[in-house]
Amino acid sequence: MAATSVVVLDRGNNTTCTVNLFGATVVSWRVNNQEQLFVSKQAVFDGKRAIRGGIPFVFPQFGQWAFGPQHGFARIARWHVEKMPERLPSGDVEAVFSLMDDDFTRSMWHFQFRLTYRLILREKELHFNIGVYNPSKELTFSCQLLLHTYFKVPDVRRCQITGMHGCMFIDKELHFNIGVYNPSKELTFSCQLLLHTYFKVPDVRRCQITGMHGCMFIDKELHFNIGVYNPSKELTFSCQLLLHTYFKVPDVRRCQITGMHGCMFIDKTREGTVYQEGREVVTISEWTDRIYQNTMQEHIITNVVSGRKMRIQKYNFPDTVIWNPWSEYAKEIPDFGDDEFPNMVCVEAGRVATPIVLLPGTAFEASQILQVM
Ligand SMILES: O=P(O)(O)OC[C@H]1O[C@@H](O)[C@H](O)[C@@H](O)[C@@H]1O
């Protein structure tokens, strides 16, 4: 498969959605031949760098990451086509993409995971359904335990043992069944261990003990340090998820964005200071990089392509990031034109402020609907 393989959902009437399998990046969404998404003229399609525009898929990390690239690996990983575009009885077109852990993802993040990304192209809408699964198996164990005690008796033929009357038995040994319960949620434990041996000596004042010369000591007991190793891997993972949507707009200075009023936001242009949004609508007239928390389920962006409105509806995506690099920061982005900033705004639905925690065998689902109004 070439680095830039694409899958096209075609609903007819020049309404299409194009997905590049590199990152499952939606690189185009045309409604009646009108492109709704911004892709930079300087975007690079080399199968290495994240595509600058469209809808990159941010997972498992939003922002800088100590273990891998900014915004995680999903946007630079090769996704699979789970279901090729198919026309539904409604006339809408559906396609499903997926990403699972492999050597590439495990080189940064050792967890097993599976992402499914279902897109449905409707007449004026694009639907996104995302599933994040943790397929790891539980670490609960079952076991048997027995104290195999040998009692000393003068003659076993003269012993009598009570307590078994009426019990079923399957062999000739005497089993003590003892329940063992593993109450752990966390898999990693820390503990201390000590063999508290009482040596019998005639007079402790005459004993000499070697082997401590030069050692630090904290009390008067003799400690034997024994390493204990828990070989289980962590199976529960936490992650962040975000659809980094670049909307195409004729002039970002004329856009208004609803749904943030009263929300707290982290302002990344002001060293992460937290503020509360006092405006009914957010407007953009400078470098903007904000993580709004617990935003409304719906945002409306005014003055997008052809002066229309764009509605964003989101489910299980509590946060909304708003980003525009403006002229000063645009210059620092190699795959973004210096003069392109007025023609885009990123309004990104996600779950980033508090991470998603997935125990083995559990799933998280979220969705977004974009609608041209
Ligand atoms: O250049 P990247 O990695 O695609 O990121 C673009 C922007 O993405 C936004 O989501 C972040 O809030 C910004 O801080 C970041 O600059």
The string of pLDDT tens digits covering residues 257-316 is 999 999 999 999 999 999 999 999 999 999 999 999 999 999 999 999 999 999 999 999
Distance 345 CA to ligand 1 centre (A): 12
Place of tokens 């000590």: 194
pLDDT given at position 170? 77
User: Is the pLDDT higher at 32 or at 206?
Assistant: 32
Q: Is 122 in the pocket of ligand 1 (CB under 6 A)?
A: no
Residue 198 has pLDDT above 80, yes or no: yes
Distance 126 CA to ligand 1 centre (A): 23
pLDDT given at position 49? 96
Distance 348 CA to ligand 1 centre (A): 10
The string of pLDDT tens digits covering residues 157-195 is 889 898 888 887 777 655 555 565 556 655 655 556 667
Q: Are 24 and 98 in contact, with CB atoms under 8 Å apart?
A: no
Return mean pLDDT, the chain: 90
Place of tokens 């273990």: 67
Q: Is 76 in the pocket of ligand 1 (CB under 6 A)?
A: no
Ligand 1 atom with the smallest distance to the CA of 348 is 10
The string of pLDDT tens digits covering residues 60-78 is 999 999 999 999 999 999 9
The token pair at 319 is: 């946060």
Lowest mean pLDDT among 29-33, 221-225, 232-236, 253-257: 221-225
Euclidean distance between CA atoms 264 and 275, whole angstroms: 6
Average pLDDT (310-333) is 97
Place of tokens 């402020």: 353
pLDDT given at position 128? 98
Amino acid occupying residue 243: L
Q: Is 75 in the pocket of ligand 1 (CB under 6 A)?
A: no
Per-residue confidence at 231, pLDDT binned at 50, 70, 90?
A: low
Distance 117 CA to ligand 1 centre (A): 21
Amino acid occupying residue 295: T
Distance 180 CA to ligand 1 centre (A): 50
Q: Is 244 in the pocket of ligand 1 (CB under 6 A)?
A: yes
| pTM for the whole structure | 0.78
Q: Is 44 in the pocket of ligand 1 (CB under 6 A)?
A: no
Distance 321 CA to ligand 1 centre (A): 9
Distance 70 CA to ligand 1 centre (A): 8
The token pair at 188 is: 């990693």
CATH 2.70.98.10 corresponds to the domain 6-136+236-372: yes
pLDDT given at position 215? 79
Nearest CA to ligand 1 atom 12: 289
Q: Is 348 in the pocket of ligand 1 (CB under 6 A)?
A: yes
Per-residue confidence at 1, pLDDT binned at 50, 70, 90?
A: very low
Euclidean distance between CA atoms 342 and 310, whole angstroms: 17
Mutate to test the pocket of ligand 1, among 40, 59, 70 (most ligand atoms within 8 A of CB): 70
Euclidean distance between CA atoms 260 and 279, whole angstroms: 8
Q: Is 50 in the pocket of ligand 1 (CB under 6 A)?
A: yes
Residue 204 has pLDDT above 50, yes or no: yes
- Helix H, strand E, coil C: the string for 93-105 is EEEEEEEECCHHH
- Residue 29, strand partner residues: 17
Euclidean distance between CA atoms 200 and 202, whole angstroms: 7
Mutate to test the pocket of ligand 1, among 240, 267, 289, 344 (most ligand atoms within 8 A of CB): 289
Q: Is 299 in the pocket of ligand 1 (CB under 6 A)?
A: no
pLDDT given at position 165? 83
Distance 38 CA to ligand 1 centre (A): 15
Q: Is 71 in the pocket of ligand 1 (CB under 6 A)?
A: yes
Residue 343 has pLDDT above 60, yes or no: yes
End-to-end CA distance of the chain: 37
Ligand 1 atom with the smallest distance to the CA of 333 is 1
Helix (H, G, I), strand (E, B) or coil at 50: coil
Q: What share of the chain has pLDDT > 70, as a percent?
A: 86
The answer to whether the complex's ipTM is over 0.90 is yes
Euclidean distance between CA atoms 321 and 262, whole angstroms: 15
User: Is the pLDDT higher at 220 or at 25?
Assistant: 25
Burial tier of 141 (Cβ tally within 10 Å: 0-12, 13-18, 19+): exposed
Nearest CA to ligand 1 atom 8: 323
Backbone φ and ψ for 269, nearest 5 degrees, come out as -85, -10
Mutate to test the pocket of ligand 1, among 323, 333, 348, 351 (most ligand atoms within 8 A of CB): 323
- CA separation (Å) from 323 to 26, 267, 281, 346? 18, 10, 15, 5
- CA separation (Å) from 165 to 8, 161, 178, 244? 75, 10, 19, 71
